[in-house]
Amino acid sequence: MVAKQVGIDWKFQPKTCVGDDDRISQLPDDILVVILSLLSLKEAARASILSSRWTNLWKHTLSLDFDAENSMCKLARERELEMEEGLKYVEWVNSVLQSHRAVTLREFRICFDLSEPSHIVLTKWLEYALARQVQRLEFDLSAANSRRFGRTDLNYVFPQELLTESNHHTRTRFGFKHLKELSFRFVTVTREAIEFFLNNCPFLENLIVHKTKKISTLEVCGSSLALKHLELFGLDSVKVSAPNLTSLSVKVYKELILDNVPMLDELTVACGYCEFSVERLLLSSCISQLESLTLMLSNLKGSTVLCKFPEMPRLKKLVIEYWTLGEGSLIALTSLIKASPYLQEFVLKLRWLELSRSDREIGSSVRFPHEHLKVAKFCGYYGRSSDVEFVKYFIDNCVVLEKLIIDPHGLVYIPRVPTSPAKLAKEVTARDCAKRQLESQVPAHIELVIL
């Protein structure tokens, strides 16, 4: 394959001789730029001091990933640094864009906690990336949600004007046809924008939208869609018909219709919060073809009662994220496990909004042999009688179980809030309970891991 030629700023590129011992610097500019594009932005900039040969090469990198993990960690510990760190981030991005010279981009990623005053500059960054025919575009502002949990009116809204036709041409001002991956987390997107992306991005394989604006129903349908991975959160009803789709993640409140998805083998659905019925979902014809299924269920309005489900013969991994308030039994969840005869891995993630524990008697385990399940993981274990009952079910029924993982982390779910001393104390208590309750119960051939 012939590498694409890069136009270097030769008037600024030093004319120096490269020593024989520096073989890398002797490579063509376009190869060096590809190498730098594999590094982080800060690493690529630091490489410019290796020798004068590298001075301006970083300006032509094809990847602009503005991830400021260290600053995000500071904000998690000290919210009063919000304005200071936000200004530093904006200045960093702007300074890089002013120096950058690449005419096309493979990747452009913004990942930071940016408040309302930064919305204007966010639009400018979007315009910059789209003008350079970006292939992978990601705006992740989810950390900003820590200050305004539930306040969707404060989210940055994808600017509709970027999709409008120019005055001189019958096409948009920017090139969308090169987009292969598009991800918006806590960027509110309208129905018109989503439909535009689906209709005008012929190579779009990954689409992620975690905030929508006033959309009740949406259809993602088309025999020519290239989509392989789709994530949509916050809709009433969604219909999906996409022949190339292999992975789907949705949060819907009423209805999910799956039609003509022959390649779909991984499904994640947030349900049980409102009117959505997990039973109705699992009657869908595509369920029998799934290899991985994640369900987000809720027990906030009372005990969860699940029906007998159709068999899922290809399912290898099942993850259940279960929101709960109290001591309710977890045994009802085993109906999903029983419907998966070839299941190899099971994960339960308890999301506690309120911790409680009772000392009721532990019930006897339901008998139902599982002949393929090798790994079981319990996240959010607190040592309740219900927790012990659920773990005992796996010990008694999984004949080839190799590993049992108990993880007390995440006992109390508060989005984006650092771990408090009180929460850590509860995790220590839960860990001690797990050791006392389970170590003597787990057979020697099963590896017990308590995190």
- Average pLDDT of the chain, as a whole number: 78
- The parent domain of residue 416 ranges over 291-451
Q: Which residues pair with 212 in a beta bridge?
A: 189
Number of structural domains, the chain? 1
Radius of gyration (C-alpha) of the chain in whole angstroms: 26
Q: With respect to residue 64, please indicate whether it lies within any of the assigned structural domains.
A: no
Q: With respect to residue 379, please indicate whether it lies within any of the assigned structural domains.
A: yes
Q: Measured between alpha carbons, how far is 356 from 156 in angstroms, rounded to an integer?
A: 38
Sequential pLDDT tens for the chain (451 residues): 444 444 444 343 444 444 455 566 666 666 666 666 666 666 666 666 555 656 667 777 888 999 876 666 555 556 666 677 778 888 989 988 998 888 899 999 998 877 666 788 999 999 999 999 999 999 988 754 444 444 555 678 899 888 875 444 445 567 788 999 999 988 889 888 999 999 999 999 999 998 877 788 899 999 899 999 999 988 888 899 999 999 999 988 788 888 899 999 999 988 755 545 666 676 677 888 999 999 888 764 544 445 667 889 999 999 998 887 766 778 888 888 988 999 999 999 988 766 666 665 665 566 788 999 999 999 988 888 888 889 999 999 998 999 999 998 765 544 444 556 777 778 888 888 889 999 888 998 999 999 8
Q: With respect to residue 264, please indicate whether it lies within any of the assigned structural domains.
A: no
Q: Measured between alpha carbons, how far is 148 from 117 in angstroms, rounded to an integer?
A: 15
Interacting residues of 97 by C-beta distance below 8 A, sequence separation 6+: 64, 125, 128
Give yes or no for a contact between 429 and 383, defined as CB atoms under 8 angstroms apart.
Answer: yes
Q: What integer pLDDT is reported at residue 240 of this predicted model?
A: 93
Q: What integer pLDDT is reported at residue 264 of this predicted model?
A: 95
Q: With respect to residue 23, please indicate whether it lies within any of the assigned structural domains.
A: no
Q: With respect to residue 406, please indicate whether it lies within any of the assigned structural domains.
A: yes
The two tokens of residue 343 are: 């299941």
Q: With respect to residue 308, please indicate whether it lies within any of the assigned structural domains.
A: yes
Q: What integer pLDDT is reported at residue 6 of this predicted model?
A: 47
3-state secondary structure the chain: CCCCCCCCCCCCCCCCCCCCCCCHHHCCHHHHHHHHHCCCHHHHHHHCCCCHHHCCHHHHCCEEEEECHHHHHHHHHCHHHHHHHHHHHHHHHHHHHHHCCCCCCCEEEEECCCCHHHHHHHHHHHHHHHHCCCCEEEEECHHHHHCCCCCHHHCEECCHHHHCECCCCCCECCCCCCCCEEEEECEEEEHHHHHHHHHHCCCCCEEEECCEECCCEEEEECCCCCCCEEEEEEEEEEEEECCCCCEEEEEEEEEEEECCCCCCCEEEEECCCCCCCHHHHCCCHHHHHCCEEEEEEECCCCCCCCCCCCCCCCCCEEEEEEEECCCCCCHHHHHHHHCCCCCCEEEEEEEECCCCCCCCCCCCCCCCCECCCCEEEEECCCCCHHHHHHHHHHHHHECCCCEEEEECCCCECCCCCCCCHHHHHHHHHHHHHHHHHHCCCCCCCCEEEEC
Question: Within 13 A of 99's CA, how many CA atoms are on the CB side?
Answer: 15
Q: What integer pLDDT is reported at residue 216 of this predicted model?
A: 81
Q: With respect to residue 194, please indicate whether it lies within any of the assigned structural domains.
A: no
Give yes or no for a contact between 232 and 214, defined as CB atoms under 8 angstroms apart.
Answer: no
Q: Which residues pair with 252 in a beta bridge?
A: 235
Left, alpha or beta for 133 (phi > 0: left; psi -120 to 50: alpha)?
left
Give yes or no for a contact between 376 and 398, defined as CB atoms under 8 angstroms apart.
Answer: yes
Q: What integer pLDDT is reported at residue 300 of this predicted model?
A: 47
The two tokens of residue 250 are: 């949705």
Residue 399: what residue type?
A: V
The two tokens of residue 402 are: 């190799």
CB atoms within 10 A of CB 401: 21
Q: With respect to residue 407, please indicate whether it lies within any of the assigned structural domains.
A: yes
pLDDT in tens, 118-173: 788 999 999 999 999 999 999 988 754 444 444 555 678 899 888 875 444 445 56
State how far the alpha carbon of 79 is from the alpha carbons of 68, 142, 143, 250, in Å: 16, 15, 12, 31
